[in-house]
């Protein structure tokens, strides 16, 4: 796979190749492979000791022409300072002025921002960019983690010189268009699922988005002890099982999984009965698990502030405080939720002072009717 453009003397001068090294032939083969993919000598120099990753970096570049951020801003007809703000809002470290970190795809992103600014205003559009950047960063981090554990490490063990790892990186990068399409398709589905009527009685006409929802928190009991009992790998598997079971139960019942917080999940749903059903089903299923500990839950209902895909306000705070007071395998509910639910029994527990609440709060233990 030799390439006539390759000059071993140049590679040696740039610190990329040592002809006297025991693995010199393997190193040269790796470099030849990366250059055949379209990498430049500068790409290899910048990668340092992590040459195999260049295979995926080259394949993932959205366009071949490289631009500075200022050049991309000029093409999109936006001030360079605005481009910098968009870049930072997306969660990306601002490139050096002379760094060719952008492509024509980034120009389109800047143009999309301009269109969004016309519709929503600059402050709102920048905040949306932060939300998107945070979500995409999580997808990227999860994908990279799955690769390094399940593909990268075995490839490097098979071939310490790194060629097998470089090939694996290139193969993984071919999945990127499919992943991008999947994200686009799922985003459209979630847009449909999130639609709701504009209610003049909500906060919409006062400049904020609020909804009447039931909010639930589900918490693994004594997760600290669990972490001490299990190996790191076993703990990862256990938390993965907890997240999977929680997500499946919540979504199947028609709720929305808002976030996973290590040993805790938060969900919202439109009615009190479904919130009760989710909490009880998770309590039953986790109580029967051989590895995972029991869970406890807190649920509350009322008006919540909707912002950036998350939920805020006293109702959320009450559910979050209630879950910490619940016994294992039990669910504590707010008075409002207990009054709204049908088909369940609620037993009052002693009024309790909760952080952030001026007066003692009466909570109710959820039980199945009959």
Residue 80 has a pLDDT of 94
Residue spans of the domains in the chain: they are: 1-195, 204-368
- Whether residue 266 is predicted with pLDDT greater than 60 in this model: the reply is yes
**235: pLDDT confidence band, cut at 50, 70 and 90?**
confident
**263: pLDDT confidence band, cut at 50, 70 and 90?**
confident
Sign of CA dihedral 161, 164, 168, 171: positive
Q: What is the DSSP letter of 92?
A: P
- Whether residue 63 is predicted with pLDDT greater than 80 in this model: the reply is no
- What backbone torsions phi and psi does residue 363 show, to the nearest 5 degrees? -115, 160
Residue 236 has a pLDDT of 84
Query: What's the CATH class of domain 204-368?
Result: alpha beta
- Whether residue 76 is predicted with pLDDT greater than 70 in this model: the reply is yes
- Whether residue 325 is predicted with pLDDT greater than 90 in this model: the reply is yes
Residue 176 has a pLDDT of 86
Residue 204 has a pLDDT of 57
Model pLDDT for residues 115-147, shown as the tens digit of each residue: 999 999 999 999 999 999 998 998 988 898 889
Residue that has been written with the tokens 């939300």 in this structure:
131
Average pLDDT of the chain to the nearest whole number: 88
Least confident of 57-66, 73-82, 272-281: 57-66
- What backbone torsions phi and psi does residue 235 show, to the nearest 5 degrees? -65, -40
> What angle in degrees, to the nearest 10, is found between the helix axes of 232-252 and 272-287?
150
Pairing of strands 295-307, 331-333: parallel
Token output for 171: 């193969």
Q: Which of residues 63 and 46 earns the better pLDDT score?
A: 46
CA–CA gap between residue 317 and residue 311 (Å, rounded): 10
């Amino acid at each position: 796979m030799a390439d006539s453009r390759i000059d071993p003397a140049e590679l040696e001068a740039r610190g990329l190749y040592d002809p006297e090294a025991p693995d010199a032939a393997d190193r040269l083969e790796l470099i030849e492979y990366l250059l055949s993919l379209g990498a430049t000598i500068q790409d290899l120099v910048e990668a340092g000791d992590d040459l195999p990753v260049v295979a995926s970096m080259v394949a993932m570049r959205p366009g071949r022409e490289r631009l500075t951020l200022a050049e991309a801003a000029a093409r999109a007809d936006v001030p360079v300072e605005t481009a910098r703000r968009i870049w930072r809002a997306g969660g990306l470290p601002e490139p050096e002025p002379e760094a060719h970190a952008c492509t024509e795809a980034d120009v389109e992103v800047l143009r999309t921002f301009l269109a969004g600014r016309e519709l929503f205003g600059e402050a709102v559009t920048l905040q949306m960019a932060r939300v998107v950047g945070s979500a995409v960063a999580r997808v990227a981090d999860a994908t990279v983690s799955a690769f390094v554990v399940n593909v990268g490490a075995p490839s490097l063990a098979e071939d310490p010189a790194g060629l097998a790892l470089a090939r694996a990186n290139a193969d993984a990068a071919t999945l990127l268009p499919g992943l991008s399409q999947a994200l686009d398709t799922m985003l459209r589905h979630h847009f449909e699922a999130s639609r709701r009527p504009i209610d003049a009685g909500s906060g919409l006409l006062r400049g904020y988005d609020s909804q009447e929802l039931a909010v639930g928190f589900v918490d693994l009991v004594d997760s600290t002890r669990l972490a001490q009992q299990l190996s790191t790998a076993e703990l990862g598997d256990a938390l993965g099982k907890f997240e999977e079971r929680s997500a499946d139960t919540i979504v199947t019942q028609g709720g929305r999984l808002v976030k996973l917080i290590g040993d805790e999940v938060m969900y919202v749903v439109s009615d009190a009965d479904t919130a009760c059903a989710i909490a009880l089903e998770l309590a039953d299923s986790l109580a029967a698990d051989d590895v995972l500990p029991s869970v406890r839950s807190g649920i509350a209902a009322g008006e919540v502030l909707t912002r950036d895909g998350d939920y805020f306000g006293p109702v959320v705070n009450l559910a979050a405080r209630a879950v910490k007071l619940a016994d294992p395998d039990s669910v504590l509910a707010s008075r409002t939720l207990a009054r709204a639910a049908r088909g369940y029994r609620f037993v009052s527990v002693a009024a309790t002072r909760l952080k952030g609440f001026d007066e003692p709060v009466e909570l109710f233990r959820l039980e199945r009717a009959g």
